[in-house]
Every structure is written in C-alpha cells, then in structure tokens.
C-alpha cells in the first residue's frame, strides 16, 4: 500500500519520474514493514497467503477494487447503487479512513491503466486461500445485484473471473444459485443434481457446510466474515428446501 501512496505523492511533485521514484521507495518500505510484521506476529499464517506466496493487505484491496470496477462496467452502465455497495463494503471491512485511501490510490494510479481480470487473478490465485477466492466471487455477485438485477454480461464476466481464480464450474454455479432462486437453485447450491439420492444430499450438505463455514474466514475483516455467514445460511436453506420437498 505504501508504494502506491509514494507513487501518488511523487507524481504530484515530480511528475512521472517522481511517481516511479516514489513507487520504488514505497516498495522498499512495504517490504520492510511486512517482513517485520510477520516476525512480530510469530509468523502466523495470513488469510492472504497460499503456500510460500503472499499478498499484502494493500495490494489485495487494490486488486479487489479493480475486479469490482470490471464487474460494474460489464453491462455497459455504471450504476451508482453498485458503486455505493462497493464503498459501503470497503468501509465496513477496512474502516472509513483506510477505504478512502484505497479509493484515492485506485482513482489516481490504478484506474488510469488497463485493468485485466486475467492478470489480476493470476496474481491473486497463488497468494490467497480458496475460501478467500470463493468470497471474492460471492462479493462480485453482490455488486451485480445491487442495482436490482444481475445481467447476462455481468454473470459472464464473473464466470470468467471465477475461472481465472481457478474455482470449479460447480463452485461458481453454487454461488450463482444463491442469487437466482428457482426450482434447481437448492441443488446447485449443494453442487449436486436433482437426481441425487437422499444419502447423497446429506453428504453434499455436510461437505458444503464444511466448505463455507464462517470459521474459515475468522481471521479476515468483518465484511468477509459476514459474507461467509451469508453463504453458510444459503447452504442451510438449500438443504432445508430439499428436505421439505422430499419429506426427509
């Protein structure tokens, strides 16, 4: 995060040369800060890490905001309600001051560049846990629905992002079904076919409840924990719907 702030300050004083210098100095400070932070916390595993690679909170927020902008623009219209949804989510997750800093950096530095969903996801995928990537897709659907309806182009864009994040088609359809209620939604949420046996339904419910349990995101910010709870509730509701339908 410091490197982006440095780039903005450098640009304000010395133009593009200052921006480059500010970015390099900020990168060094970022590296030192997060190295020290890891040491002082006893090397505990971050929710933004997968195997040996990790992403700083600042970089994660800016990349997430970039994905948000892609979804908001997917249907060719920039909805104020979708933008407000994103801002409210960031404020809830990171606090007003930090969220505002992220938005300023995005508007002053990142927004002016070509934003590639594939490149962003290629960066995030090896650096984030699967449950975090599932939550990203859930959040993107929330943005798309904020204006009252989810367009085909928005679904296609989120589907593409889910693929780039190396989530399975079943995982994507499961989250999508949480936003589109129909006769098949409950089965899709549990990632099973309607022809599944009662035993398979029960097994699928146990697996999905484990996958989406809020405890998996207990170290993340409040907004992410709430998102996990929403998915967990949808899984429970889907199972109850099938139970009633079948008289289980």
pLDDT tens string 34-93: 444 444 344 434 444 444 467 788 888 889 989 999 999 898 888 889 988 988 888 887
Q: In the prediction, which pLDDT does 164 show?
A: 97
Q: In the prediction, which pLDDT does 2 show?
A: 43
CA dist., res. 173 & res. 45, Å (int): 29
Q: Which band of pLDDT confidence, cut at 50, 70 and 90, is reported for residue 133?
A: very high
Q: Count Cβ neighbours within 10 Å for each residue of 150-177 and write b for 16 or more, e otherwise.
A: beeebbebbbbbbebbebeeebbbbbbb
Provide, rounded to the nearest whole percent, the portion of the chain with pLDDT above 70. Answer: 71
Q: In the prediction, which pLDDT does 169 show?
A: 93
CA dist., res. 226 & res. 10, Å (int): 38
CA dist., res. 176 & res. 159, Å (int): 9
Counts for the chain of helices (H) and strands (E), in that order? 11, 2
Any idea which of 29-43, 130-144, 185-199 has the lowest mean pLDDT? 29-43
Q: Which band of pLDDT confidence, cut at 50, 70 and 90, is reported for residue 142?
A: very high
3-state secondary structure of 12: helix
Model-level pTM?
A: 0.65
Q: Is the pLDDT of residue 213 over 80?
A: no
Closest CA to 100 of 203, 5, 174, 201: 5
CA dist., res. 91 & res. 94, Å (int): 5
Q: Is the pLDDT of residue 125 over 90?
A: yes
More reliable by pLDDT, 142 or 43 = 142
Closest CA to 26 of 56, 46, 47, 70: 56
Q: In the prediction, which pLDDT does 59 show?
A: 87
* CB contact set of 117 (below 8 Å; sequence gap of 6+): 67, 70, 157, 160, 161, 164
Is residue 175 a contact partner of residue 143, using CB atoms and an 8 Å limit? no
Q: In the prediction, which pLDDT does 153 show?
A: 94
Q: Is the pLDDT of residue 130 over 80?
A: yes
Provide, rounded to the nearest whole percent, the portion of the chain with pLDDT above 90. Answer: 22
CA dist., res. 216 & res. 74, Å (int): 30
More reliable by pLDDT, 79 or 159 = 159
Q: In the prediction, which pLDDT does 6 show?
A: 55
Is residue 232 a contact partner of residue 208, using CB atoms and an 8 Å limit? no
In 41-168, which ranges are continuous DSSP H helix?
57-73, 80-94, 96-105, 117-124, 130-145, 152-164
Eight-state DSSP code of residue 85: H
**Torsions phi, psi of 178, nearest 5?**
-70, -15
CA dist., res. 235 & res. 220, Å (int): 21
Q: Is the pLDDT of residue 227 over 70?
A: no
**Torsions phi, psi of 53, nearest 5?**
-100, 155
Q: Which band of pLDDT confidence, cut at 50, 70 and 90, is reported for residue 138?
A: very high
More reliable by pLDDT, 140 or 99 = 140
Q: In the prediction, which pLDDT does 36 show?
A: 43
Strongest mean pLDDT among 2-11, 18-27, 36-45, 83-92: 83-92
3-state secondary structure of 145: helix
Is residue 65 a contact partner of residue 86, using CB atoms and an 8 Å limit? yes
Any idea which of 90-94, 181-185, 197-201 has the lowest mean pLDDT? 181-185
Closest CA to 164 of 122, 217, 133: 122
């Amino acid at each position: 995060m410091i490197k982006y702030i440095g780039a903005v300050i450098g640009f304000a004083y010395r133009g593009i040369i200052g921006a480059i210098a500010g970015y390099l100095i900020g990168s060094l400070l970022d590296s030192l800060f997060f190295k020290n932070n890891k040491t002082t916390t006893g090397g505990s595993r971050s929710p933004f890490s997968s195997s040996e690679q990790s992403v700083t909170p600042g970089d994660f927020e800016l990349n997430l905001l970039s994905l948000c902008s892609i979804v908001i623009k997917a249907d060719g219209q920039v909805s104020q309600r979708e933008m407000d949804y994103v801002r409210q989510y960031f404020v809830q997750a990171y606090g007003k001051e930090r969220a505002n800093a992220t938005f300023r950096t995005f508007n002053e530095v990142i927004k002016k560049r070509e934003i590639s969903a594939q490149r962003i996801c290629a960066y995030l995928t090896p650096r984030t846990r699967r449950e975090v990537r599932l939550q990203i897709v859930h959040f993107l659907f929330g943005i798309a629905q904020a204006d009252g309806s989810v367009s085909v182009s928005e679904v296609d864009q989120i589907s593409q992002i889910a693929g780039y994040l190396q989530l399975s088609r079943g995982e994507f359809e499961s989250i999508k079904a949480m936003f589109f209620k129909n006769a098949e939604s409950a089965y899709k949420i549990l990632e099973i076919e309607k022809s599944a046996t009662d035993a398979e339904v029960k097994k699928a419910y146990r697996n999905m409840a484990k996958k989406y349990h809020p405890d998996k995101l207990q170290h993340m910010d409040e907004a992410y924990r709430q998102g996990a709870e929403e998915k967990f509730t949808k899984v429970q509701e889907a199972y109850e719907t099938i139970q009633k339908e079948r008289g289980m």
